[in-house]
């Protein structure tokens, strides 16, 4: 039963990651032609030959990692809750479930804080 629940959560997370849009361009700015981008209110020709890893690849990787960490953390919280609920008076099983849920919450907090630090450093470099 628990394996089916975790498998369902993993499938939902995978669908969410696949369906997530990593496009960070501002589409509400100017209506520039397809070969142009808006910089400071002006349409300029896009240079497709110069791909900057710092502006293209790193945010995409951090986004995917955050989704993965979030999915695992939520799965641990749910798994711990199910273990506590189904412990049937067994204090050791309830303790294991509580520790799993606390570990999931701790992992989620650490992930959010690390994302905040990376975002801060990334925008201020």
To the question of pTM greater than 0.75 for the whole model, the response is no
Q: What residues contact residue 30 under an 8 Å CB cut-off, 6+ apart?
A: 38, 41, 43
User: If pLDDT is split at 50, 70 and 90, which confidence band does 101 have?
Assistant: very high
Q: Say whether pLDDT at 92 is over 80.
A: yes
Residue 46 structure tokens: 């896009």
More confident residue, 62 or 13: 62
Q: Say whether pLDDT at 15 is over 60.
A: no
Q: What is the helix (H) or strand (E) element at residue 62, kind and residue range?
A: helix 53-85
User: If pLDDT is split at 50, 70 and 90, which confidence band does 35 have?
Assistant: low
Domain ranges of the chain: 2-17+27-123
Question: What is the pLDDT averaged over residues 30-44?
Answer: 70
More confident residue, 119 or 46: 119
- pLDDT score, position 5: 66
Question: What is the pLDDT averaged over residues 65-85?
Answer: 92
- pLDDT score, position 106: 94
In the numeric block, the tokens 């050791």 are attached to 92
């Amino acid at each position: 039963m628990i394996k089916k629940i975790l498998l369902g959560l993993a499938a939902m997370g995978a669908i969410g990651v696949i369906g997530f849009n990593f496009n960070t361009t501002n589409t509400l700015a100017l209506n520039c032609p397809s070969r142009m981008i808006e910089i400071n209110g002006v349409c300029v020709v896009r240079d497709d030959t110069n791909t900057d890893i710092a502006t293209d690849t790193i945010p995409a990787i951090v986004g995917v990692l955050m989704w993965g960490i979030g999915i695992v953390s939520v799965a641990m919280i749910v798994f711990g809750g199910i273990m506590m609920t189904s412990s049937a008076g067994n204090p050791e099983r309830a303790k294991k479930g509580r520790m799993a849920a606390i570990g999931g919450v701790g992992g989620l907090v650490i992930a959010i804080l690390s994302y905040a630090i990376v975002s801060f450093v990334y925008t201020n470099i």
